[in-house]
Each structure stands twice: as C-alpha cells, then as structure tokens.
C-alpha cells in the first residue's frame, strides 16, 4: 500500500455504521487514505461499505478495514500506531437509546470509556500534536429540556444510559483538549437519517413499515411515543460538518442541526403521504390509532405501479405498543446551528421532505426487489416487525 506525500490519512471507528459509510465516501472523494475499524461478527457487517472495498494488495488501495473494538485498548493503540492517522473520527458506539437501558454497562464501556481509550492511545503514542480527533457527541446530552433551541452553551441533562455515557465522552474530549493541547472536538449532532439508517431507529422503522404496508407485506405499524419531537436532518449533510470541524484553525465544539423540529406522528403522516396514503390519527394515549383516511390513486400508482392494495380506507394502520416507550424520554430537541453556519459555513442541503422522499422510495425499491425474489422462488425474510 502506498500513500502519497501529502495524502491525508483518516481512521474511522464505527465505519460500518450509517455515518461511517457516508463519511468514508466523502473522505475518499477528497483523496484521503481511509482506515476503518470493524468488529468481528459471525455474519458480514459491511453491507453499507461493500461498494467502497478495494483490494488491499493493490498499490493504490485507499480504503482498508481493521478488526477492532472500542472495548479493547491494546487493539486501538496498535491500529493507531500502525495507521498513523492525521484525523480520527470516533463514530463507534452502541447508539440505540432504548437498547442502552437493557445493556447500560456495555454502553458505558463502549461509548464512554471507549472514547477515553482512543484519546489516551493517541497521547501515549506521542501523537497528540499530530492527530486531530472528532468525537460523535449527540443532542441526547440535552435530554430533559432546559432551554430551546439547544446550542453549544445549553446545559446538559442526559436521560438514558446512552446519553450519560456520551456525556462522559464529551467531557473527556474537552479535557484532553485543555489538558494536553490536543485538537479534539465534539460535534453535537442532532438526529440524522438516511436510507442507510439502522432499521430500528424511528424514521427507518417508519419508512420500512410504510413501504411494506402499501406493498401488502405488513398490516400494522406498532409505535411508541408519537409526541416526541426531533430535529431531523440527512446523514450526508452531517458528515460534511464532521469533516469541516477538523479543518478549522482551532479546535472547538459545534452543534449540527436544521433548527426545525417535527413530531414522530407527523413524520409518519408525511411518510405515508409520499405513497399517496393519507392518515388521520384518532384516540388518546395508548389508545391512539392511525386510520387510513383516503388514497390518492394517482400518486399511489406512480409509486407502486399497481393498484391491488390489501388495505382499504378506514383500516387502522398505526397502533401504540407500550413496549416501545422509554423509562425516561427526551421530549423535545431543536438545535441552534448558528455557530456552525457562521464559523464552518455549514448549511444542510436536504430538508425533511426530501429526506423522507429518499428514504421511502429507497425502501419501496428494496421491498419490491424482495417480492420479485420471493416470486422467483427464493426465500426472503419478510416477517412483520
């Protein structure tokens, strides 16, 4: 493997995740040598980055994966020593808020102490003046609403084991910057989504269910708290901000957000509307349901190509399942992106409508392909979620 004199080297933890995939694409397009850390799993976990694979034997290979884990200091130290990165993007985390209530100790280890392991490895290797570090911090730090919109100076009040672990990671990043003069920065990113989003996060769960329901593969979407409000952007825009944060003259922390907040219920309505299905919500609390109010057949036909729907006007398509409620919830997130607008020159290109459109159409394409496979005699996992 050959790196040219000026070629920058990046190391991405969490490269197999949503953001890791988009960030890899971005850095490769800028001429970086990209190293990534992937976990050993019993099944392949690289589907989001398989299109970036390069033969490691090739002289011009600019993309290389290393087995590793945020819970293994020696492994992280070895990879950093071998790859000598100019920039490290720490995206690895157990990133599901609800699941963090089930595995709080692991979450603290991977998300909190994992960040310390990375910072300390850079310091012990004497690379603290060479290597810049981006820490994937989160709007979940704001938790219980103290003030809105939330900016870099808003007080934190984490509301989950995930958020508490990320709070440790946030402050240890600030501490290593102040104590050792490291170029270590937090991007406080609000929710960002895409067709690559994990299937159990709310937006992707919705766009997958909408696609399956309109294609006749699922009857009902079971949801948790429909009143939660999130500031949703597109991951493709947000990885640009990560890159920009590490290109500044001085290290600092930045909120990355759209400044617009939307209820989960409205996301569902917009996602169904993308396929011509119009919903109305009725009832209160756990009794609330989403009912199919009308169908715009022109849109439905354009999107689906056939009019043999298994659902009818009046059908209940959305129900509440308390299993999806969280022991402590984050009710309202709305970010103030002024600092990133002014200092990074960062502005998102996507809005909520274009994000939802891309996600819904991508999932419809995926499930249409599954249907074709099924019809050709292949077995495909299409059970309801």
Active site annotation includes 138: yes
Active site annotation includes 162: yes
Count CB neighbours of 218 within 10 A: 21
Q: What are phi and psi of 217, to 5 degrees?
A: -100, -10
Active site annotation includes 83: no
Contacting ligand NDP (CB under 6 A), which of 7, 41, 200, 365?
A: 41
Query: From residue 123 to residue 152, what is the string marking binding to ligand GDR with x (rule CB under 6 A)?
Result: ---------------xxx------------
User: Residue 244 half-sphere exposure, CB side, CA atoms within 13 Å?
Assistant: 20
**C-alpha–C-alpha distance, residues 149 and 260, integer Å:** 9
Alpha helices of 274-351 — where are they, by DSSP H?
Answer: 297-304, 338-339
**C-alpha–C-alpha distance, residues 108 and 262, integer Å:** 29
Contact segment (CB under 6 A) with ligand NDP among 87-95, 125-133, 300-308, 322-330 equals 87-95
Span 78-107, contacts to ligand GDR by CB under 6 A: 95, 97-98
Closest residue to ligand NDP, judged by C-beta, is: 17
Of the two residues 19 and 274, which places its CB atom closer to ligand NDP in the complex?
Answer: 19
Contacting ligand NDP (CB under 6 A), which of 8, 61, 71, 324?
A: 71
Q: What are phi and psi of 160, to 5 degrees?
A: -155, 160
Identified catalytic residue from 87, 140, 193, 240:
140
Task: Kindly tell me the burial class for residue 181, based on how many C-beta atoms sit within 10 Å of its own C-beta (0-12, 13-18, 19 or more).
Answer: exposed
CA-based radius of gyration for the chain: 22
**C-alpha–C-alpha distance, residues 132 and 315, integer Å:** 54
Identified catalytic residue from 16, 115, 131, 138:
138
CB of 137 to ligand GDR, least distance (A): 8
Binding-site size for ligand NDP (CB under 6 A) equals 26
> Does position 255 bind ligand GDR by CB under 6 A?
no
> Does position 211 bind ligand GDR by CB under 6 A?
no
CB-based contact 101:224 (threshold 8 Å) = no
- Specify the DSSP class assigned to residue 82: H
Contact segment (CB under 6 A) with ligand GDR among 180-188, 197-205, 282-290, 308-316 equals 197-205
> Does position 228 bind ligand GDR by CB under 6 A?
yes
> Does position 205 bind ligand GDR by CB under 6 A?
yes
Pick what 205 binds: ligand NDP, ligand GDR, none; C-beta below 5 to 8 Å, kind-dependent.
ligand GDR
**Of 77, 91, 80, 118, nearest to 26 (Cα)?**
91
**C-alpha–C-alpha distance, residues 337 and 64, integer Å:** 34
CB-based contact 23:51 (threshold 8 Å) = no
Where does this chain bind ligand GDR (CB under 6 A)? 95, 97-98, 138-140, 190-191, 200-202, 205, 223-225, 228, 230, 264, 324, 326, 329-330
Where does this chain bind ligand NDP (CB under 6 A)? 13-14, 16-20, 37, 39, 41, 45, 69-71, 91-95, 110, 136, 138, 189, 191-192, 198
Q: Looking at the annotation, which residues are catalytic?
A: 138, 140, 162
């Amino acid at each position: 493997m050959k790196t040219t004199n000026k070629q920058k080297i990046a190391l991405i933890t969490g490269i197999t995740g949503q953001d890791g995939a988009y960030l890899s694409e971005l850095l490769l397009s800028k001429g970086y040598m990209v190293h990534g850390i992937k976990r050993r799993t019993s099944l392949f976990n690289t589907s989001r980055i398989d299109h970036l694979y390069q033969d490691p034997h090739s002289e011009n290979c600019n993309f290389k994966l290393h087995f590793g884990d945020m819970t293994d200091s020696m492994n992280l130290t070895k990879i950093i020593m071998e790859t000598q990165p100019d920039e490290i993007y720490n995206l690895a985390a157990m990133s599901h808020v609800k699941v963090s209530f089930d595995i709080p100790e692991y979450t603290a280890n991977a998300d909190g102490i994992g960040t310390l392991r990375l910072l300390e490895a850079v310091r012990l290797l004497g690379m603290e003046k060479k290597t810049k570090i981006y820490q994937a911090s989160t709007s979940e730090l704001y938790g219980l609403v103290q003030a809105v919109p939330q900016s870099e100076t808003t007080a934190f009040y984490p509301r989950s084991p995930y958020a508490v672990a990320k709070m440790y990671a946030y402050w240890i990043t600030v501490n290593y910057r102040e104590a050792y003069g490291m170029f270590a920065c937090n991007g406080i990113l609000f929710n960002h989504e895409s067709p690559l989003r994990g299937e159990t996060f709310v937006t992707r769960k919705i766009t997958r269910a909408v696609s399956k329901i309109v294609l006749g593969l699922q009857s009902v979407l079971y949801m948790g708290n429909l009143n939660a409000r999130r500031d949703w952007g597109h991951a493709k825009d947000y990885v640009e901000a990560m890159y920009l944060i590490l290109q500044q003259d001085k290290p600092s922390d930045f909120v990355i957000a759209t400044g617009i907040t939307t209820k989960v219920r409205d996301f569902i309505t917009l996602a169904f509307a993308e396929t011509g299905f119009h919903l109305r919500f009725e009832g209160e609390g756990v009794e609330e349901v989403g009912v199919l109010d009308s169908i715009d057949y022109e849109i439905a036909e354009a999107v689906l190509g056939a009019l043999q729907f298994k659902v009818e006007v009046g059908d209940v398509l959305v129900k509440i399942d308390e299993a999806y409620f969280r022991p402590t919830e984050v009710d309202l997130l709305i970010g103030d992106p002024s600092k990133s607008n002014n200092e990074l020159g960062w502005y998102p290109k996507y809005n909520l409508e274009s994000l939802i459109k891309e996600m819904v159409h991508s999932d419809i394409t995926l499930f249409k392909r599954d249907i074709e496979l099924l019809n050709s005699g292949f077995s495909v996992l299409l059970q309801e979620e």
